[in-house]
A and B are shown apart, each in its own frame.
Chain A
Amino acid sequence: AQKVTQAQTEISVVEKEDVTLDCVYETRDTTYYLFWYKQPPSGELVFLIRRNSFDEQNEISGRYSWNFQKSTSSFNFTITASQVVDSAVYFCALWMTTDSWGKLQFGAGTQVVVTP
């Protein structure tokens, strides 16, 4: 089976605290792609990052950082010094190549609430 697990349903933090969102995936593919998306209250998905299975380097983009570990099948996301604008639902997703054109499998999402 191929799936994505985001065990944290909701995380509440006070502004300037760091927050880490967990993502564990399961796939039989040797080549696969992992994504993180942000969905603010407006509903529109915002692409944050894509990582392929051959690139295990961690990445930092401003206050965002990602830790990809194939050994534990995890692709965790950290927001440093959180801000109120970070309040949103964050989805981890796995690109599955189960057929000729593939599809995205989303995790359940983690609601992040940042209070002033």
Chain B
Amino acid sequence: GAVVSQHPSWVICKSGTSVKIECRSLDFQATTMFWYRQFPKQSLMLMATSNEGSKATYEQGVEKDKFLINHASLTLSTLTVTSAHPEDSSFYICSARDPFGGSYEQYFGPGTRLTVT
């Protein structure tokens, strides 16, 4: 099956710094990738939809200037949390749409656990 990787798997950063999370589709090209955030004991919430070569579409309430998404190639999307604060500590999960499946087919990465101190 299709594989999606994320790097790093966990990161600790200091308040005020920025951190970049990578999402890669390893054996297929993904024109669309999704970024989710999951706080402890809560559900996954979609943050944004990323399309290769165009600007990301952010969900209501997600600050686009704080969560920068770049989808520069068909196999890589990055999420940069700028000026991170402790409230940004969360589990960030990406997924990539299967280009050969239905629009609903997506493969999830293993997630990145961000802790801001």
Whether B103 lies near A43 (C-beta < 8 A) is no
Instruction: Report chain A residues within 8 Å CB of B93.
Output: 43, 45
Instruction: Report chain A residues within 8 Å CB of B32.
Output: 101
Whether B110 lies near A44 (C-beta < 8 A) is yes
Instruction: Report chain A residues within 8 Å CB of B34.
Output: 103-104
In the assembled complex, A50 has its CB within 8 A of some CB on chain B: yes
In the assembled complex, B89 has its CB within 8 A of some CB on chain A: no
- Residue in contact with A44 in the complex, picked from B51, B57, B111, CB distance below 8 Å: B111
A-B contact pairs, 25 of them (CB 8 A): A33-B102, A42-B110, A43-B91, A43-B93, A43-B110, A43-B113, A44-B111, A45-B44, A45-B93, A45-B108, A50-B104, A91-B43, A95-B104, A99-B57, A101-B51, A101-B97, A102-B103, A103-B34, A104-B34, A104-B44, A104-B46, A106-B44, A106-B45, A108-B42, A109-B43
Chain A interface residues (CB < 8 Å from chain B): 33, 42-45, 47, 50, 91, 95, 97, 99, 101-104, 106-109
